């Protein structure tokens, strides 16, 4: 699903008006966050609350937007834009869209950044664009420590690519030089 | 031919390192340049660092040109973090036009790495160390990365980094072979404080790749000055300083002196391992480099 990270709540509070509404997409946000956390968000923003099925389907939004000073949206960047389009009004996103991810052992990890030219057939089925902090085509860089990336809290994607590739006899492929792609 | 490329493999190579200033005042930099002039006969090149750790400094190209114009052979460091293909090639043409031949191709630390003073800077990484090496290789044949023609071939002696402290090490080994295939002529390692780390890396290369790489490697050294420095360095990725080495600095009456002794021992170890030479990074204390060179 689309991965989301909530913005700083204190910063969001400074953007509230007298009458606020929080519109949440019913899909990805509920995969990223618990229902309780989403309910709490509405309370912290002192706002009314509306949950819509899938904002990416351009649903009808039965709201008189003139009634509200501020409309907050909990959705991916695309869903947030849909709300703005449908209501023809400015909105405030409450989350940052960070990628396309997976959940295992209760932990969400980003696996794809929708780069537009999938090359994971050349990288053992592991994405070097999202799972390497520098999106390197020829990793790992020298900063890897105990298999962890030099920045952020992620496992180094290139160590994983190397392990899977060399295990299946692809040592030469791993040692080959991959050139930058021309994404049309 | 650069002095470095001419002598590589023929004699035990020693290179030094300098950081360009953090502002337009060149006074201190020129003092260091003067010191390097005195050491010219013993040094085969001086690296000019390129915004290491994403901490702002004057451009390494300008710093390298200044060395070149003062008769000191630069090893121009170039990172892929801050420039796209065009900017990298354009800077390389400039370097070549000014007579610079030795270039160390680096991917570069992430702008958001621990040391960074510009964490919101955008990381470019259009090329990486391997494709930057390839770029220089084709430029040496009179071409650019996209296949176009240059009005004259460049003459780069191409360096790359080797991180013996990366863990797990296998990925680093395969990548080193990739850099060699791409066209790297020599390697400079990250700072090594235990010769066993270097030895393990060379042996691992031999067992995984089936080749001996020691005649291409300059082992990186940083003389230790204080126990505080030991503690700081231990927090950096890839740095291994043993308990014993740490204690030697901690218990020393004169830690600077002891640091120089340790570095001198490492130089001997590098010779014993038949490495191509050493790369001494004096970390701002140029006297340590002077002392180490005196005994060579
Ligand atoms: S290469 Fe990575 S970012 Fe690009 S489409 Fe494939 S998985 Fe997504
Ligand atoms: S440590 Fe691995 S994931 Fe992180 S930037 Fe380097 S190669 Fe990429």
Q: Quote the domain boundaries for residue B133.
A: 3-224+258-294
Question: What are the pLDDT digits (tens) for A122-149?
Answer: 999 999 999 999 999 999 999 999 999 9
Is A150–B113 a contact, with Cβ atoms under 8 angstroms apart? Answer: yes
Residue A34 in this model has a pLDDT that exceeds 70 = yes
Measured CA to CA in angstroms, residue B64 lies from A160, B41, B86, B191 at distances of 38, 18, 20, 22
* B229 in a structural domain: no
Q: What number is the average pLDDT over the span A72-76?
A: 98
Question: What are the pLDDT digits (tens) for B44-56?
Answer: 999 999 999 999 9
What is the nearest CA distance from B159 to chain A, expressed in angstroms?
A: 15
Q: Does B204 touch chain A (CB under 8 A)?
A: no
* B242 in a structural domain: no
* First CA to last CA distance, chain A: 25
Q: What number is the average pLDDT over the span A56-75?
A: 95
Q: Does A167 touch chain B (CB under 8 A)?
A: no
Q: Is B235 exposed, middle or buried (0-12, 13-18, 19+ CB in 10 A)?
A: exposed
Is A134–B107 a contact, with Cβ atoms under 8 angstroms apart? Answer: yes
Is the domain defined by A2-98 classed in CATH 1.10.3470?
A: no
Is A176–B131 a contact, with Cβ atoms under 8 angstroms apart? Answer: no
- Token readout for B64 is 């390298």
Q: What number is the average pLDDT over the span B242-254?
A: 97
CATH of the domain at B215: 3.20.20.220
In order, the DSSP letters of B159-170 are EEEE-TT-SSSH
Q: Does B128 touch chain A (CB under 8 A)?
A: yes
Centroid of ligand 1 to alpha carbon of A125 (angstroms)? 10
* Ligand nearest to C-alpha A151: 2
Structural contact between residues B106 and B158, judged by C-beta atoms closer than 8 angstroms = no
Residue A88 in this model has a pLDDT that exceeds 70 = yes
Domains: count for chain B: 1
**What is the pLDDT at residue B31?**
96
Backbone angles phi, psi at A37, to 5 degrees: -65, -40
């Amino acid at each position: 699903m689309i991965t989301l990270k909530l913005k700083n709540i204190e910063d969001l509070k400074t953007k509230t008006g007298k009458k606020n509404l929080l519109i949440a997409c019913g899909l990805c946000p509920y995969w990223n966050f618990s229902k309780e956390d989403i309910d709490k968000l509405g309370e912290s923003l002192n706002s009314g609350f509306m949950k819509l099925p899938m904002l990416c389907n351009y649903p009808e939004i039965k709201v008189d937007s003139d009634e509200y000073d501020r409309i907050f949206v909990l959705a991916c960047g695309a869903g947030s834009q849909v709300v703005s389009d449908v209501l023809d009004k400015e909105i405030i996103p409450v989350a940052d869209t960070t990628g396309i991810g997976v959940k295992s052992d209760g932990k969400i990890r980003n696996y794809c950044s929708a780069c537009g030219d999938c090359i994971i057939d050349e990288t053992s089925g592991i994405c070097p664009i999202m799972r390497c902090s520098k999106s390197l085509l020829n990793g790992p860089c020298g900063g890897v420590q105990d298999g962890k990336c030099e920045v952020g809290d992620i496992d180094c994607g290139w160590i994983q690519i190397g392990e899977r590739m060399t295990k299946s006899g692809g040592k030469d492929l791993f040692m080959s030089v991959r050139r930058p792609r021309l994404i049309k | 031919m650069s002095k470095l490329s001419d002598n590589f493999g023929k004699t035990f190579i020693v290179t030094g390192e300098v950081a360009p200033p953090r502002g337009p005042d060149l006074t201190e930099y020129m003092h260091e340049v003067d010191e390097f002039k005195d050491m010219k006969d013993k040094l085969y090149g001086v690296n000019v660092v390129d915004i290491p750790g994403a901490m702002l400094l004057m451009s390494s190209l300008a710093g390298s040109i200044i060395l070149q114009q003062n008769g000191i052979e630069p090893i121009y460091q170039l990172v892929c973090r801050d420039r796209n293909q065009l900017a990298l090639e354009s800077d390389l043409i400039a370097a070549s036009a000014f007579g610079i031949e030795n270039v160390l191709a680096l991917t570069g630390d992430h702008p958001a790495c621990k040391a960074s003073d510009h964490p919101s800077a955008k990381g470019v990484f259009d090329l990486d160390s391997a494709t930057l090496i390839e770029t220089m290789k084709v430029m040496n044949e009179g071409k650019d990365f996209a296949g176009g023609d240059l009005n004259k071939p460049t003459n780069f002696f191409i360096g790359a980094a080797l991180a013996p402290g990366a863990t797990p090490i296998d990925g680093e080994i395969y990548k080193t072979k990739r850099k060699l295939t791409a066209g790297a002529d020599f390697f400079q390692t990250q700072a090594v404080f235990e010769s066993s780390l270097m030895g393990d890396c060379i042996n691992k290369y031999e067992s995984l790749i089936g080749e001996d790489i020691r005649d291409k490697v300059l082992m990186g050294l940083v003389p230790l000055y204080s126990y505080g420095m030991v503690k700081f360095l231990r927090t950096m990725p890839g740095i291994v300083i043993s308990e014993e080495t740490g204690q030697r600095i901690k218990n020393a009456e004169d830690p600077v002196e002891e640091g120089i002794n340790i570095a001198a021992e490492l130089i001997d170890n590098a010779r014993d391992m038949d490495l191509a030479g050493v790369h001494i990074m004096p970390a701002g204390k140029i006297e340590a480099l002077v002392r180490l060179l005196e005994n060579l």
